[in-house]
Amino acid sequence: MARILHEQTPTQQWWNHAVIYQIYPRSFASRHGQIGDLPGIIDHLGYLADLGIDAVWLSPFYLSPQKDAGYDVADYYRVDPMFGTNDDAIALINAVHEHGLRIIVDMVPNHTSDQHVWFQAALADPNSPQRQYYWFRDGKPDNHQPPNDWGSIFGSRAWTRVCDRADAPGSPWENDTQWYLHLFDSSQPDLNWDSPEVRAEFCNILRYWLDLGVDGFRVDVAHGLCKDPELPDWQFHWDMVSGGSKVPGDVPPPPQWNRPEVHEIYREWRAVLDEYGPDRALVAEAWVDNLDDMAKFVRADEMSQAFNFDFLCSPFTVNAYRTSIRESLRAMDNVGAPTTWVLSNHDVVRVVSRMGLVETGKGPNGIRPTDPQPDAQLGMQRGLAAHLLQAGLPGSCYIYQGEELALPEHTGLSDDIRQDPAYFRTRGVEAGRDGCRIPMPWNSQLPGFGFSPSGETWLPQPEEWRDLAVDVQLSRSDSTLALFRRLFAARAELRMAQAQLCEVEEDSPWLHYISRHDTRDDVHILTVFDTPTPLPTGAEIIISSRALDEPTAPGESYTVPCNCTVWFTLSS
The contact set with ligand GLC (CB under 6 A) reads: 68, 71, 108, 184, 220-221, 285, 346-347
Min dist. Cβ of residue 427 to ligand GLC (A): 18
**Cβ pair 538, 568 in contact under 8 A:** no
Q: Which is nearer to ligand GLC, 184 or 266 (CB)?
A: 184
Give the separation between CA 20 and CA 35, rounded to whole angstroms: 23
Per-residue exposure over 82-111, b if at least 16 CB sit within 10 Å of its own CB, e if not: bbbeeebbebbbebbeebebbbbbbbbbbb
Strands (E), 264-402: 281-284, 305-306, 340-341, 396-400
Min dist. Cβ of residue 184 to ligand GLC (A): 5
Per-residue exposure over 3-32, b if at least 16 CB sit within 10 Å of its own CB, e if not: eebbebbeeeebbbbbbbbbbbbbbbbbbb
**Cβ pair 302, 282 in contact under 8 A:** yes
Min dist. Cβ of residue 446 to ligand GLC (A): 29
First to last CA, the chain: 18
Q: Which is nearer to ligand GLC, 220 or 404 (CB)?
A: 220
Q: Which is nearer to ligand GLC, 47 or 424 (CB)?
A: 424
Min dist. Cβ of residue 182 to ligand GLC (A): 10
Nearest to 83 by CA among 32, 21, 22, 45: 32
Min dist. Cβ of residue 240 to ligand GLC (A): 7
**Which residues are CB-contacts of 539 (< 8 A; sequence separation ≥ 6)?**
524, 557, 558, 568, 569, 570
Strand-pair partners of 20: 55, 398
Q: Which is nearer to ligand GLC, 61 or 488 (CB)?
A: 61
Q: Which is nearer to ligand GLC, 61 or 568 (CB)?
A: 61
What is the length of the chain?
A: 572
Q: Which is nearer to ligand GLC, 57 or 484 (CB)?
A: 57
Give the separation between CA 327 and CA 295, rounded to whole angstroms: 11
Min dist. Cβ of residue 349 to ligand GLC (A): 14
Q: What is the DSSP string of 235-288?
A: -----TTTTTTT--TTSPPPSSSS-TTHHHHHHHHHHHHHTT-TT-EEEE----
Min dist. Cβ of residue 307 to ligand GLC (A): 9
Strand-pair partners of 160: 180
Min dist. Cβ of residue 247 to ligand GLC (A): 17
Nearest to 517 by CA among 166, 7, 48, 70: 7
**Cβ pair 125, 118 in contact under 8 A:** no
Strand-pair partners of 523: 515
Residue nearest to ligand GLC (CB): 71
Q: Which is nearer to ligand GLC, 89 or 221 (CB)?
A: 221
Active site residues: 220, 275
Q: Which is nearer to ligand GLC, 285 or 302 (CB)?
A: 285
Give the separation between CA 116 and CA 40, rounded to whole angstroms: 27
Min dist. Cβ of residue 65 to ligand GLC (A): 13
Segment holding 198, helix H or strand E: helix 196-211
Q: Which is nearer to ligand GLC, 176 or 185 (CB)?
A: 185
Give the separation between CA 176 and CA 294, rounded to whole angstroms: 39
**Cβ pair 40, 81 in contact under 8 A:** no
Strands (E), 314-377: 340-341
Strands (E), 122-211: 136-137, 159-161, 179-181
